[in-house]
């Protein structure tokens, strides 16, 4: 649908400039280029202008104007998205990093109201003062924004205990594609007041509206934390350990799986000197000293039953932080192994975890590519890295392998994405993942954005939204 949208003209630039001031917009080539790609290994798609609004009203004016002018609008927070949510059709890019304030902390209610551009770690650092935190803990937490997290329903290392972003979003102020501002949700944890439009917005990847204010519920910082690692002689033993820990209802805060090659990668990245083994589990428990010690004891028993060759407990905060820093950098660190890589983000019912891992290696063998597996195994979420050391020709095979695994996952009742979202990358799976429900999603998109100016080409093809 080339030619469907209007280009940003000199007059449009004038409008945006009048609205935001000259400091809050850029058409410099360098700024456009650096906003044209995220962490997905895709192509560069340059916006025609970058805008930095500072208020909800400014966002609303930008959208109203762009909607009328039929100019596409894309959104960017930390730019760490892994699914290619970039300006495929050019147009306006709203960069939300200047809307980065904490508006209110309701300490007694354990809630916070923030603007979308605040970085996850910055928010939690501030919340420490109140003994509170926002738990999802994505690996990209030092860079990603709360707006981006809500838009992707991000989660992370502690989801097995604390859940995902959607479990914490109580309220949203949303600017709709035509510029209308609506407030969704409530400051109460429960409500029964008709359709839950709030939850519909979570995970919408910038296709239904721009979140300009976000109310989150929070948790108390844990009183006591212990982190341990265990090394296993086989993948089977490690996965069985995860299964038994979850099946026995043991209250772990994190249980991360790392395979043989990835142990070497993370060990090299953070100079950890981890022993060689087939698989490693990184486990953390939160609670009181007594409860944590009990949890760890139960985990250790199961690990030993499963022939763990070595079990270590982090001796201090420094060691714990180093272990987590290594785990958080695992995905990008994989590029130490090879030049070309794509990552899958599938989720399976936990009874299927072992099959999923073994199947991934099998697919890798079939396509003659390398495979590394890590994941938030406590909630069945696998990140499979499909890599090729230096053979550019194999990029196509990486995608084919990824697709094969995704289809298998859907067959066994899983999802093609646990936390990264659909973006451009996984559009092709939407129909098989959702069947008839996919049409309902399209209808919602058409209802809220009939001209499809907000993030066109993301989640849905433009042609499917506007005929």
Ligand X SMILES: Cc1cc2nc3c(=O)[nH]c(=O)nc-3n(C[C@H](O)[C@H](O)[C@H](O)COP(=O)(O)OP(=O)(O)OC[C@H]3O[C@@H](n4cnc5c(N)ncnc54)[C@H](O)[C@@H]3O)c2cc1C
Question: Is position 42 an interface residue for ligand X (rule: CB under 6 A)?
Answer: no
Q: Considering beta carbons, is residue 119 or 127 the nearer one to another protein? A: 119
How far is it, in rounded angstroms, from Cα 364 to Cα 372? 9
The residues in 119-138 that bind another protein, with binding defined as CB under 8 A, are 119, 121
List the x/- string, 94-113, binding to another protein by CB under 8 A.
-x-xx---------------
Could you tell me which of 132, 144, 145, 120 has the C-alpha nearest to residue 212? 145
Question: Is position 33 an interface residue for another protein (rule: CB under 8 A)?
Answer: yes
How far is it, in rounded angstroms, from Cα 349 to Cα 307? 24
The residues in 56-95 that bind another protein, with binding defined as CB under 8 A, are 78-80, 95
Binding region for another protein (CB under 8 A) out of 32-40, 182-190, 223-231, 274-282? 32-40
Q: Are 341 and 398 in contact (CB under 8 A)?
A: yes
State both tokens at 380. Answer: 């069945």
Sheet holding 210-217, edge to edge: 102-106, 111-114, 210-217, 169-175, 181-185
Burial class (CB in 10 A: 0-12, 13-18, 19+), 174: buried
The residues in 137-166 that bind ligand X, with binding defined as CB under 6 A, are 138-140, 144-145, 147-149, 151-152, 154-156
336 is in the binding site of which of ligand X, another protein, none (Cβ under 5 to 8 A by kind)?
Answer: another protein
List the x/- string, 371-400, binding to another protein by CB under 8 A.
------------------------------
Q: Are 310 and 232 in contact (CB under 8 A)?
A: no
Question: Is position 417 an interface residue for ligand X (rule: CB under 6 A)?
Answer: no
Strands 49-51 and 111-114: unpaired
The nearest distance, CB 267 to another protein, in angstroms, is: 12
Burial class (CB in 10 A: 0-12, 13-18, 19+), 180: middle
Give the helix/strand (H/E) hosting 358: helix 353-367
Measured CA distances, 6 to 3, 266, 288, 429, 445 (Å): 7, 47, 59, 30, 20
Q: Considering beta carbons, is residue 133 or 331 the nearer one to another protein? A: 331
330 is in the binding site of which of another protein, ligand X, none (Cβ under 5 to 8 A by kind)?
Answer: another protein
Question: Is position 370 an interface residue for ligand X (rule: CB under 6 A)?
Answer: no
Binding region for ligand X (CB under 6 A) out of 27-35, 202-210, 226-234, 236-244? 202-210
Chain centre distance of CA 326: 18
The nearest distance, CB 77 to another protein, in angstroms, is: 11
List the x/- string, 288-327, binding to another protein by CB under 8 A.
-------------------------------------x--
How far is it, in rounded angstroms, from Cα 339 to Cα 337? 7
The residues in 304-343 that bind ligand X, with binding defined as CB under 6 A, are 331-332
How far is it, in rounded angstroms, from Cα 184 to Cα 91? 28
Which position has the token pair 């905060």? Answer: 317
Question: Is position 206 an interface residue for ligand X (rule: CB under 6 A)?
Answer: yes
Residues that bind ligand X (CB under 6 A): 38-39, 75-82, 85, 96, 116, 138-140, 144-145, 147-149, 151-152, 154-156, 205-206, 210-211, 331-332, 419-420, 455, 458
Residues that bind another protein (CB under 8 A): 26, 28-31, 33-39, 41, 44, 46, 50, 52, 78-80, 95, 97-98, 119, 121, 140, 142-143, 269, 325, 329-336, 339, 341
């Amino acid at each position: 649908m080339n030619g469907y949208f209007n280009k940003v003209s000199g007059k449009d630039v004038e409008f945006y400039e009048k609205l935001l001031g000259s400091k809050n917009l850029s058409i410099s080539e360098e700024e456009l280029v650096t906003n044209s790609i995220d962490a997905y290994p895709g192509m560069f798609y340059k916006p025609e202008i970058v805008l930095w609004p500072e208020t909800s009203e400014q966002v609303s004016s930008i959208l109203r104007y762009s909607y009328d002018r039929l100019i596409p609008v894309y959104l960017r927070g930390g730019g760490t998205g892994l699914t290619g949510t970039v300006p495929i059709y050019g147009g306006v890019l709203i960069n939300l990093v200047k809307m980065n304030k904490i508006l209110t902390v309701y300490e007694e209610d354990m809630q916070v109201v923030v603007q979308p551009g605040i970085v996850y770690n910055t928010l939690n650092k501030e919340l420490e003062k109140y003994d509170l935190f926002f738990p999802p803990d994505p690996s990209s937490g030092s860079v990603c924004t709360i707006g981006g997290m809500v838009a992707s329903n991000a989660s992370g290392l502690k989801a097995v205990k604390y859940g995902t972003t959607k479990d914490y979003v109580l309220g949203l102020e949303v600017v709709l594609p035509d510029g209308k501002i609506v407030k969704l949700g409530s400051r109460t944890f429960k409500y029964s007041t008709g359709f839950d439009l709030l939850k519909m917005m979570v995970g919408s990847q910038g296709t239904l509206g721009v979140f300009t204010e976000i109310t989150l519920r929070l948790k108390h910082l844990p009183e006591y934390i212990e982190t341990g690692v265990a090394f296993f002689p086989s993948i089977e033993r490690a996965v069985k350990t995860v299964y038994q820990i979850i099946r026995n209802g043991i209250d772990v805060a994190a249980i991360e799986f790392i395979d043989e090659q990835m142990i070497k990668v993370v060990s090299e990245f953070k100079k950890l000197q981890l022993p060689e083994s087939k698989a490693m589990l990184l486990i953390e428990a939160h609670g009181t000293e007594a409860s944590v010690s009990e949890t760890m004891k139960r985990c250790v028993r199961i690990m030993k039953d499963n022939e763990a060759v070595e079990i270590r407990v982090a001796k201090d905060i420094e060691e714990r932080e180093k272990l987590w820093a290594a785990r958080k950098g695992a995905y990008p660190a994989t590029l130490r192994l090879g030049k070309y890589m794509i990552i899958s983000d599938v989720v399976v019912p936990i009874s299927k975890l072992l099959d999923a891992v073994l199947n991934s290696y099998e697919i890798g063998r079939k396509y003659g590519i390398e495979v590394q597996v890590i994941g938030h195994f406590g909630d069945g979420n696998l990140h499979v890295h499909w890599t090729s050391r230096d053979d550019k020709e194999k990029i196509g095979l990486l995608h084919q392998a990824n697709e094969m695994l995704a289809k298998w996952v859907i067959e066994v009742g899983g999802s093609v994405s646990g936390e990264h979202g659909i973006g451009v990358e996984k559009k092709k799976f939407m129909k098989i993942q959702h069947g008839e429900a996919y049409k309902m999603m399209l209808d919602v998109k058409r209802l809220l954005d009939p001209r499809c100016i907000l993030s066109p080409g993301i989640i849905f093809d433009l042609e499917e939204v506007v005929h």
